[in-house]
Amino acid sequence: MKITALKLHPVAIADPPLRSSYGLHAHYAIRTIVEIETDEGIKGCSETYGGDGPMGLLKEAEQRLIGMDVFQLTRLHMDFEARAAAEASGDRSQTWHVPGENPMDRHTRTFAAIEIACLDAIGKALDKPACDLLGGRARDAVPFSAYLFYKHAGGGGLGDDERDDEYGEGLTPEAMVRQAKQMIAKYGFKEIKLKGGVLDPEVEIETIRALRREFGPNVPLRIDPNCAWSVDTSVMVGESLVEELSRGGYLEDPCASIEGMGEVRKRLLAKGIDTPQASNVAVTAFKHIPEAWKHDAVQIVLSDPHYWGGLKAQQHLDHFCRVFGMGLSMHSNNHLGVSMMAMTHAAACCPYIEFACDTHYPWQTEQDEVVAGGRIPFHQGSVVIPDKPGLGVELDYDQLARLKERYEKLPYRKRDDEAEMRKRVDPNWKRVLPRW
Amino acid sequence: MKITALKLHPVAIADPPLRSSYGLHAHYAIRTIVEIETDEGIKGCSETYGGDGPMGLLKEAEQRLIGMDVFQLTRLHMDFEARAAAEASGDRSQTWHVPGENPMDRHTRTFAAIEIACLDAIGKALDKPACDLLGGRARDAVPFSAYLFYKHAGGGGLGDDERDDEYGEGLTPEAMVRQAKQMIAKYGFKEIKLKGGVLDPEVEIETIRALRREFGPNVPLRIDPNCAWSVDTSVMVGESLVEELSRGGYLEDPCASIEGMGEVRKRLLAKGIDTPQASNVAVTAFKHIPEAWKHDAVQIVLSDPHYWGGLKAQQHLDHFCRVFGMGLSMHSNNHLGVSMMAMTHAAACCPYIEFACDTHYPWQTEQDEVVAGGRIPFHQGSVVIPDKPGLGVELDYDQLARLKERYEKLPYRKRDDEAEMRKRVDPNWKRVLPRW
C-alpha cells in the first residue's frame, strides 16, 4: 500500500486564556491535521503541532513519502535520524521552547506525524485498531487526568468565533477547586494535574492543599510549574506538599535541568521526602534518560507520541522506563480528537503507564472538532479504544475547511505565549527562570 | 484470529563434536518446533530450545493460549513478566548455564517462542513478511558470519543417522584456517567468529593470527572463549590481538561478569587498546545494560530473539543499544531453518545491527531440515528476506515426525556439554572458570 498524496490541513482552534510559566495561551491554538492517501484508496490521518515550522518540515518530506509503502517505516525513521544526527546541536530540553517549537526534535516530530498517519491507514486496510498493530493493547480504556490551569476570564476565540467562558476566571485556590469540580463532573477524571509556575508559590501550594481537602487522599495530585522555581523554592514546595503529592502524585519539572532536579531530589530525600519528580522539560529524548537516572533526577518520564517519535517510540520509551525502574505518564498540548485518539492508542499499548495521562482536550470545544461525528467521549475519565480500525476516527472536511480559513486569517504562524502575555496582560512581561 | 491449538514438535538434529568452554556438543542437538493453529485455519510456527524444560513451560502456557487473539501479545507478555517477577532470584548471567537452560530467563524464552509463532500466523493472514509487521525492514538481506569451532573428528549423529564429517578435525590454527576457507567458500560469509576457550590461549591467539594472515584486514575477526579466561589472560589476549581484532572485530565474553569485563576494559584502555568487548554471557537481559554501561564493560550486546524475548524485544534491544551508544550483534545456538528465518527477520527490522550475526546453521545438514523445500539459502553470506508471508517458511511434517522419533530415542532431555565432554573426551573433565 503506497502513499500517493500528503495533505496538510492547518487549523486554528479557539483556546481560553490559560497561563503557564511560558506566558499566556493566545485566542487560537494552531495545529496541523496530516492526511495521507494511498494507491488502495485508503486514507490515514494524524495531528501535530501547527504553524510554519511543523508544516514546512512535513512539506519537505513529501517527495520522500510519495510511493512509499506505509509498512516501511523503519527506513523512513533511519532517514530522519540521519538528518537529525547531521544537524544536531544543543541540549534538546524544552526549558526555553514550547513543545512543537523545539528545533532539536523537529525530525522526531515530523516522523511521528507520518508514522501515526501510516498506522491509521494500515489499521483501516487490515480492519484493526492502531494499538493492535503494535503487539496489542495492555488496556481497553486509557485514564486521563483533570488538567487545571490558572486562567483569566474568557473562553477563547475572537469575534464570531468567541466561545463561552465555560470555566470562568481561575486565579485563586477557591476558583481552582471550582474548576476541578466542574471538569470532573463533566468528564469523570480521577486524578488531577495543576499547571503551576504562574502565581506566587504560596498561592499554588494553597491551591494544591485546597484540592486535597476537597477531593481527599484518593485523588492523586500533581503540580507542574514548568521550571519556574529555583532549587530552594522547589525543595520548599516539596516539603510543604509532602502529604498532598503522595499516593500517586508527583512534582513535575519544578526547576530547570537534570542537574537542578537531581539537586532537589537529593535535598528532599535528605529530609526523608520521597515525592517523585516527573519531567517533560528536562527529559525530552531517550538520551536524557540514562543521565536523569544517574543523577536520580527524574522518577517519572512524561511521554508524548508527538515529539518522542510516534507510537512505536512510545513503546520503546515505555520499555525503557521499565528497565530503569522509572514511571511513565503522558504530556499533552492543546489538541483535537485525532491527537486524542493517537494518545489513547499510544497509552493503550504501553503496559507500564501507571498514571492518568495529561490532556488539554477539555479546553477545546465541540464547535472546533475536526473528527466526523464530534468530540471523543470520556467514560469515567477514560477514553475507550473504539471497535474501529486505525485511530478510530474519520475527518470532517467541512470543519477542516472552516478551521483552515480561520487559520489563514491569523496574524501568527507559531505559538508564542510570551508575546501573548505582553499583549494582553503585562507589556513588560518576560519569561524569567527561576521566577521564584 | 484466535489460537485453537498449540503443537510442540521435539526434534533431535545431528551435531558434530564442537567444543566450547562449556564442554562438547553431543551427537544430537535438541530443539522444539512450536506450532499454533487458529480459528481461521492459518498456522504459525517458531523454533526454540529443546528438551523437557522448554517443552514443559510451553505446555504450561497452553491453556492461556487457547482462545487468545494472536494480535494481543502485550497482555500475554505482561502475564509472563508478572510470573518472572514473582519468581525472580539470581543474576540471569549465562556464566554457568547454556542458553535455553538458564532458569532466570525461562518465561522470556517461552514468550518469545509464542510471539514468533503468532507473528508468523499474522504475516500469513495478512500476506506480509514478519519484519514488515514490525515497522518494516532496515535491510532486505541479513549478513551472518562464519562461526568457527574447534572440533574433534566426526560429523554428528550416530548409527544410521551418522553424518559425513564435512569439516574434519579442527584443533590447530592450520585446521581452523581450512575450516574457515571451506565454510566461506560454501556460504560466502564476510566476517569470522571463532569460538574459543577450548585450547591454550596461545594456540587460540595463533589461530586468530593465522586467520588474519589468510583473509586480510577486511574480514573482521571475533573470538569468544565464553569467559574461560581470567582478567589477566583476557588483557594479555587483548594486547596480543590488538591489530587482529580491530576493524569490526571484538573480544567476546573473555572473562566472567560485568565487573570482570569492566576491569579488562579499563586495563586495555590504559594501554591505549580500544578493542570493543561483546557479551551474551554477562549481559543477557535489559537490566544488565545500564550496569554494563556504567562499568564500560560491554560495547556490543549480542542479542538473540530466542532468549531476549522475541522480535519485538529484539527491536527494543536495538533501540536501547543505540541510546547507550552500544553496538548490537546476534548470538546463536544450534538451530534449524525456522530459527534461521526468525533471526533473519529479527535482524532485518533492527536498524542498528552493524555486525554480521552468529549462526550455527552451517553445522546442521539438509537431511535434518524441518522446513519444507529444504535448507534456507545464503547469498554471499547473507539470508535474503523472501517475498513470502510470516517467517517465510512452511513445515515439513514428515521430517518433523522423523526427527521426533529420533528425539524419543535419545537418553537425554537437556543439553549438557560437560557430561558429553566427560563421556567422550576426558572422564575427569570439569568446567573450571577461569581455566586460564
pLDDT at A88 over 80: no
Tell me A434's DSSP state: S
In the predicted model, what is the mean pLDDT of residues B319-339?
96
Asked if the Cβ–Cβ distance from B290 to A324 is below 8 Å, we say yes
In B, which residues are within 8 Å of A315 by CB distance? 316
pLDDT of residue B112: 98
User: A304-318: per-residue pLDDT in tens?
Assistant: 999 999 999 999 999
Confirm whether A294 is a catalytic residue.
no
Q: Kindly name the residue from B43, B151, B331, B345 that is annotated as catalytic.
A: B331
The strand pairing partners of B3, in sequence order, are B38
Q: With 90 as the cut, is the pLDDT of residue A347 above it? A: yes
* pLDDT at residue A65 in the model: 98
Strands (E), B376-420: 382-384
Which of these, B427, B339, B74, B403, lies nearest to A345 by C-alpha position?
Answer: B74
Query: What pLDDT, on the 0 to 100 scale, is given for residue A98?
Result: 84
Residues of B in contact with A349 (CB under 8 A): 74
**Mean pLDDT, chain A, integer:** 96
* pLDDT at site A43: 98
pLDDT at position B92 is: 80
In degrees and rounded to multiples of 5, residue B87 shows phi and psi of -105, -5
> What integer pLDDT is reported at residue A195 of this predicted model?
98
**Cα of B347 vs its chain's centroid, Å:** 12
- In the predicted structure, residue B151 carries a pLDDT above the cut 80: yes
**Tell me, what's the pLDDT at A187?**
98
Q: Across the strands, what pairs with B221?
A: B192
Query: Mutating which of A71, A127, A131, A288 best tests the B interface, going by the most B Cβ atoms within 10 A?
Result: A71
Q: Which of residues 389-418 of B touch A (CB under 8 A)?
A: none
**Higher-confidence position of A93 and B333:** B333
pTM comes to 0.97
Kindly state whether A71 is in contact with chain B, defined as any CB-CB distance less than 8 angstroms: yes
Distance CA B10, CA B33 (A): 6
User: What's the pLDDT at B93?
Assistant: 84
Interface contact A323, partner B, CB < 8 A: yes
B-facing residues of A in 77-116 (CB < 8 A) are 77-78
Residue A101 pLDDT grade (very low, low, confident, very high; cuts 50, 70, 90): confident
pLDDT band at B101 (very low <50, low <70, confident <90, very high): confident
CB contact under 8 A, B138 and A324: no
Kindly name the residue from A25, A195, A288, A295 that is annotated as catalytic.
A195
Average of per-residue pLDDT across B318-330: 95
Q: Which of A184-188, A408-412, B81-85, B221-225 is the least confident region?
A: B81-85
Sheet containing A43-49: order of strands: A3-14, A28-38, A43-49
- Who's near A119: CB < 8 A, 6+ residues apart? A44, A130, A133, A134, A310, A311, A390, A391
ipTM of the complex: 0.95
Q: Is the pLDDT of residue B237 over 90?
A: yes
Residue found by looking up cell 522518577 in the block: A299
Interface with chain A: mutation pick from B74, B308, B353, highest number of A CBs within 10 Å: B74
B357 at interface of A, judged by CB pairs closer than 8 A: no
Percent of chain A with pLDDT over 90: 94
Residues of A in contact with B128 (CB under 8 A): 71
C-alpha cell at B314: 529484539
C-alpha cell at A366: 465541540
* A-contacting residues in B 116-135 (Cβ below 8 Å): 126, 128, 132-133, 135
Look up residue A245 and give its amino acid. L
**Residue A50: what pLDDT?**
97
Residue A422's pLDDT band, with cuts at 50, 70 and 90, is: very high
| Interface membership of B289 toward A (CB under 8 Å) | yes
Number of Cβ within a 10 Å radius of residue A82: 11
Quick check: A373 contacting B, CB < 8 Å? no
Can you tell me the mean pLDDT for A342-357?
97
**CA B352, CA B369: separation in Å to the nearest integer?**
30
Helix axes A311-323 and A337-348, enclosed angle (nearest 10)? 40
Which residues in chain B are closer than 8 Å to A138, comparing Cβ atoms?
74-75, 78
* Chain A residues near residue B289 by CB distance under 8 angstroms: 323
Which residues in chain A are contacts of B286 at CB distance < 8 A?
319, 323
Distance from CA of A112 to the nearest CA of B (A): 13
Asked if CATH classification 1.10.10.10 holds for the domain at B3-129+398-408, the reply, yes or no, is: no
Chain B positions in Cβ-Cβ contact with residue A351 (cut-off 8 Å): 74, 77-78
> Cell numbers at residue A48, please?
501535530
- Checking if the pLDDT of A97 tops 90, the result is no
Query: Rounded mean pLDDT of B245-264?
Result: 97
Identify how many contiguous H helices and E strands chain B contains and give both numbers.
13, 14
CB proximity B352 to A under 8 Å: no
Distance from CA of B59 to the nearest CA of A (A): 22
Residue B286 touches partner A, C-beta closer than 8 Å: yes
**Known catalytic membership, residue A124:** no
What pLDDT score does A100 carry? 85
Compute the nearest-CA separation of A75 from chain B (Å): 5
For the cut 90, the answer to whether the pLDDT of residue B349 exceeds it is: yes
Output the CA–CA distances (angstroms, integers) from residue A380 to A184, A186, A334, A350, B163, in the order listed. Answer: 9, 9, 21, 20, 67
Contact B136 A290 (CB under 8 A): no
Which is the catalytic residue, given B25, B27, B193, B195?
A: B195
* Contact with chain B for residue A168, Cβ under 8 A: no
Which chain B residues are Cβ-neighbours of A135 within 8 angstroms?
A: 71, 73-74, 77, 312
pLDDT reading at B215 higher than 90:
yes
What's chain B's average pLDDT? 96
Question: pLDDT category, B94, cuts 50, 70, 90?
Answer: confident
Q: Which of A331, A335, A345, A360 is catalytic?
A: A331
Nearest-neighbour CA in chain B from A419: distance (Å):
36
Measure the CA–CA gap between A22 and A95, rounded to whole angstroms: 9
Say what the pLDDT of residue A93 is.
84
Q: What DSSP string describes A331-383?
A: ---S--HHHHHHHHHHHHT-TTB-SPBP--GGGS-GGG--BTTSSPP-BTTEE
- The mean pLDDT of A166-181, rounded to a whole number, is 98
The letter for the amino acid at A274 is D
The string of pLDDT tens digits covering residues B358-370 is 999 999 999 999 9
Q: Which residue in chain A has the smallest CA separation from B116?
A: A135
Distance from CA of B286 to the nearest CA of A (A): 6
Q: What residue segments make up the domains of chain A, in order of their start?
A: 3-129+398-408, 133-392
Please give the CATH architecture assigned to the domain spanning B133-392.
Alpha-Beta Barrel (3.20)
As a whole number, mean pLDDT of residues A334-358 equals 97
B73-87 and B52-65 helices cross at what angle (nearest 10)?
Answer: 130
pLDDT for A406 equals 97
Average pLDDT over residues B337-343: 98
pLDDT number for residue A87: 83
pLDDT tens figures, B181-199: 999 999 999 999 999 999 9
Residue B90 has what pLDDT?
A: 74
Residue B197 and residue B128: Cα distance in Å, rounded? 42
Residues of A in contact with B69 (CB under 8 A): 136
Taking 80 as the threshold, does the pLDDT of residue A90 lie above it?
Answer: no
What is the tens place of the pLDDT at every residue in A269-301?
Answer: 999 999 999 999 999 999 999 999 989 999 999
**Minimal CA separation from A239 to chain B, in Å:** 31
> Is A359 within 8 Å of A147 (Cβ atoms)?
yes
Region A379-406: what's the mean pLDDT?
98
Confidence of residue A350 (pLDDT cuts 50, 70, 90): very high
pLDDT over threshold 90, residue B311:
yes
pLDDT above 90: residue B69:
yes
pLDDT bucket at B100, cuts 50 / 70 / 90: confident
